[in-house]
Amino acid sequence: MFKLPPMKKIIIFASGSGSNAERIATYFHQKGTAQVSLILCNNPQAGVLTRAKRLAIPSLVFNRQAFYESDIVLNVLKSQHPDLIVLAGFLWKVPAYLTEAYPHKIINIHPSLLPKYGGKGMYGSHVHEAIIANAEKESGITIHYVNEHYDEGNIIFQAKTTVLPTDTPDTLAEKIHLLEYEYFPKVIEEILV
Ligand code: GRF
């Protein structure tokens, strides 16, 4: 009798549309090697919650007080025994109690080539607007470990794309999303091995 390797568990934190969360969930659903077992979200209006429902993935919404002043989120995570915690468009700073409980187990994706265009205030369209305003010739994605400082954990992976003079923040965001969809699941897969 041979034994199947245990299914790896991924927990995703997201604040917005959740297209990366969906991409990761469907990628591993097809592969059968891991599953997104829970989506945690700080915004009750976020599109990621609709996606979670459609994909039959449990989700949990928490507020600022629960996240920063209670053990609720930590206890939920502990009960799930995640192999990896993935921030996919999650906008709140991760508190030290989480980075301490899960060293090298929390990763984030950032829509620029860090250390450029990272740090406080540099998220979503703000990043793309700044890159266009500065007439940068290239941008890209960075997947990195999360520590207690915004966008400063060790870099795991980067991929680049060209920024054309005709690009707008919206067209650049589309290019970045395509890179994210292509590489984020694969990088997660490599980390999980
Ligand atoms: C992504 O571009 C990610 O890099 C950034 O926020 C965006 C989230 O998009 N941090 P989505 O919610 O996955 O569609």
d(CA 136, CA 113): 11
16 is in an annotated binding site: no
The model's pLDDT over 152-164, given as tens digits with 9 standing for 90+, comes to: 789 999 999 999 9
Ligand 1 atom closest to residue 14's alpha carbon, by position in its atom list: 12
109 C-alpha to center of ligand 1: Å?
Answer: 8
Computed over every residue of the chain, the mean pLDDT equals 95
Alpha helices in the chain (DSSP H): 19-31, 47-54, 64-69, 72-80, 96-101, 124-133, 169-192
> Domain-by-domain residue ranges, the chain?
8-111+141-158+184-192
pLDDT at 124 over 90: no
Fold of the CATH domain 8-111+141-158+184-192: Rossmann fold (3.40.50)
* Beta carbons within 10 angstroms of residue 126's beta carbon: 13
Ligand 1 binding pocket (C-beta < 6 A) is 14, 16-21, 88-89, 109-111, 123-124, 176-177, 180
88 C-alpha to center of ligand 1: Å?
Answer: 6
CA torsion through residues 7, 48, 154, 186, sign: positive
User: Mind telling me the catalytic residues?
Assistant: 110
Ligand 1 atom closest to residue 23's alpha carbon, by position in its atom list: 13
Q: What is the pTM of this model?
A: 0.95
